[in-house]
Structure 1
Amino acid sequence: MPTFKAFFVSENADKSYSNQIIERSAADLPEGEVLIRVKYSSLNYKDALSATGNKGVTRNYPHTPGIDAAGIVEESATDQFSKGEKVLVTGFDLGMNTAGGFGQYIRVPARWVVKLPRGLRLKESMIFGTAGLTAALCIDKLLQNGLTPDKGKVIVTGATGGVGTLAVMILARLGFETVAVTGKPEGAAYLKNLGATEVLNRDAVNDHSGRPLLKGLYAGCVDTVGGAILATILKTMQYNGVVSICGLVQSAELPTTVYPFILRGVSMFGIDSSECDIEWRKKMWKNLAGKWKPTKIEQIARTVTLKGLSKEIKKILKGGQIGRVIVRL
């Protein structure tokens, strides 16, 4: 079996956590039908939590994080995939309790694997990664429920993060007038360059009036932050507005009332990309490789090696990451 390099996180005797790049054998990987030589991964907030000992993400250590991976099939115990085929894996248990994409090889169940769609390179698939898939699922849910560009503005929260950035880009690609919300004033020019028609500071969507409804401003929303910001946006949705929610960067709490739902017919949908239906997943990857693919996709990504991961993990935990960090293996 081949040996390979992996970013390895260990729990120390004093309950602290440390990481190093080690040499592993593919024989040590968990069971699964498909062995993949990983070419690219990406850094997500969940990876940073796993890399620093968050037991809500990863129960047992030592461990290799990386919830995203793209590469080439080395071995397959099923005729669904062939040696040499380009594939990608996002979500499920990858990088959580199954050795993940921060290693040069992964072994996973066949049902986790998606063939790389035509029109997408391996590196591009990781610029999207879990963040892009989540953004696509959020937007598709809005479209399924009647949102069209002529209905009005779409607001995106946490817009300099991975999901938010890609949501802004995809919505712009689809012709929507998009309002981006960020707590990083320095991100305004960046977001407008990616297609946002307006950029708001998060304080502008954090209502303290106590009123159950505000002026209807938005036809749709992709929310990644939760908390008071989501509650404020719900108050400002237009009649029959649609909201997709996928994160809790601000808070898991939602201090709201039923008024937006029963007086304006607002609909809110929860999005989970980790365990979503495989056919919906494949459809979204096809869209991301085709008609939804932003023209400036490379502009939002920086590439690091395994040696550069520790620095980037510290940065994302402090809220300092803008766009996407790609890991070249």
Structure 2
Amino acid sequence: MSSAFQALVVENADTFSVAVKDVSLDQLPAGEVLIRVAYSSVNYKDGLACIPDGKILKSYPFIPGIDLAGHVVSSADSRFREGQPILATGYGIGVTHYGGFSEYARLPADWVVPLPDGLSLREAMIYGTAGFTAALSIERLEENGLSPDKGDVLVTGATGGVGGAAIAMLSKKGYRVVASTGKPEAAAYLRSLGAAEVISREDTAGSGGKPLNKQRWQAAVDSVGGSSLAAILSQIAYGGSVAASGLTGGTAVPATVFPFILRGVNLLGIDSVFCPADRRRSLWARMAGDLKPHNLEALVHREVSLQELPQALSDILNANHKGRTILRLSAS
């Protein structure tokens, strides 16, 4: 095996640069498992890692990419064998540890998940961190009483990775899903994923910032945050829950205690980065099974090569996309 391969490298010495470059195996960080990467995916956090003021990376040069799927080349850990298909998301991947925008990656064994039966490497990256976050949101909502017979489920940021995956999974499970978006032109796409109704971002905001509004949703998957999250909390039915995982709408949530103390509403924080390994593996098995949408491929916006990746990263930062962008490194 040649020690030279290609990766997207971010540098910030005399000038900031993002370019596809040759890398050697001895430049990869320590870890028990060497992986030939077949697919990765493009996420908003990856875009931030590739701009000077993104506040994601702490050291340079660096290979970003928070998701990857591929085959084991070698392993010093007996849990993994040569040729085994695996996936990895979360932890320090693509943030503090070289990530998936590379033909090869080396990771700590505890970060690696065997690819579950019923899922291909490409499908794992259609999901990626976004799909895993959506699945974790749904599972946490189920643990807090989510049921198809209790009413509508709202999904905000619906054209994003988390939102689209949540719509498709919830629809597969028999829920009536209402998708909220600021892109009215995406209504047909959202319905193709399984949304029964598409509403505007303004409609989600409700009326006038009241502490309590009409009870509209049994639950919500929210990847927006900010004032939108406050409005949603005021509209959740008695005993319902909101699974919150994002901040594109801001970090401040101007809410009151009334939804919590008068309606028993639950605000569930969703963190996919440090999700425990046992839960991570069991949830990926569900994503290959009962949560796997009939139309998973419908989530894909496009598939790109390493050379096309810089433009894809720019597009995700500028919201010039919908659904998922898949990076193809080696399909073999």
Return the alpha-carbon distance in structure 1 between the equivalents of residues 209 and 194 of structure 2.
Answer: 33
Return the alpha-carbon distance in structure 2 between the equivalents of residues 38 and 190 of structure 1.
Answer: 30
Structure 1 residue 208: Cα displacement:
5.0
1:56-205 to 2 correspondence within 5 Å? Answer: 56-205=55-204
User: What TM-score do you get using the length of structure 2 for normalisation?
Assistant: 0.97
Return the alpha-carbon distance in structure 2 between the equivalents of residues 327 and 235 of structure 1.
Answer: 39
Counterpart of 1:271 in structure 2 is: 270
Structure 1 residue 12: Cα displacement:
4.6
Give the counterpart letter for 2:239 in structure 1. Answer: N
Residue by residue over 1:247-297, the C-alpha shift from the partner in whole angstroms, topping out at 9 and shown as x without a partner, is 001111100100000000000110010110111111110011111111111
8 Å contact from structure 1 (residues 142, 220) kept in 2: yes
Return the alpha-carbon distance in structure 1 between the equivalents of residues 46 and 322 of structure 2.
Answer: 16
Q: Give structure 1 stretches of 5+ with no counterpart.
A: none
SS in 1 for 2:293: coil
Residue by residue over 1:132-177, the C-alpha shift from the partner in whole angstroms, topping out at 9 and shown as x without a partner, is 1000000000001111000111000000000000000000000000
Distance 1:103 1:254, change over 3 A: same
Counterpart of 2:322 in structure 1 is: 322
Return the alpha-carbon distance in structure 2 between the equivalents of residues 69 and 284 of structure 1.
Answer: 17
Counterpart of 1:308 in structure 2 is: 308
Counterpart of 1:248 in structure 2 is: 247
Residue by residue over 1:216-238, the C-alpha shift from the partner in whole angstroms, topping out at 9 and shown as x without a partner, is 01001100000111111111110
Root-mean-square deviation (Å): 1.1
1:224-303 to 2 correspondence within 5 Å? Answer: 224-301=223-300, 302-303=302-303
Q: Which runs of 4+ in 1 moved over 6 A?
A: none
User: How many pairs were matched up?
Assistant: 327
Return the alpha-carbon distance in structure 2 between the equivalents of residues 225 and 316 of structure 1.
Answer: 15
User: Is 1:52 aligned to residue 51 of structure 2?
Assistant: yes
Return the alpha-carbon distance in structure 1 between the equivalents of residues 114 and 70 of structure 2.
Answer: 10
Identity percentage over the alignment? 47
Distance 1:54 1:93, change over 3 A: farther
User: What TM-score do you get using the length of structure 1 for normalisation?
Assistant: 0.97
Structure 1 residue 70: Cα displacement:
0.2
Structure 1 residue 210: Cα displacement:
3.5
Counterpart of 2:14 in structure 1 is: 13
Return the alpha-carbon distance in structure 1 between the equivalents of residues 298 and 156 of structure 2.
Answer: 20
SS in 2 for 1:175: coil
User: Is 1:4 aligned to residue 5 of structure 2?
Assistant: yes
8 Å contact from structure 2 (residues 67, 100) kept in 1: yes
8 Å contact from structure 1 (residues 207, 228) kept in 2: no
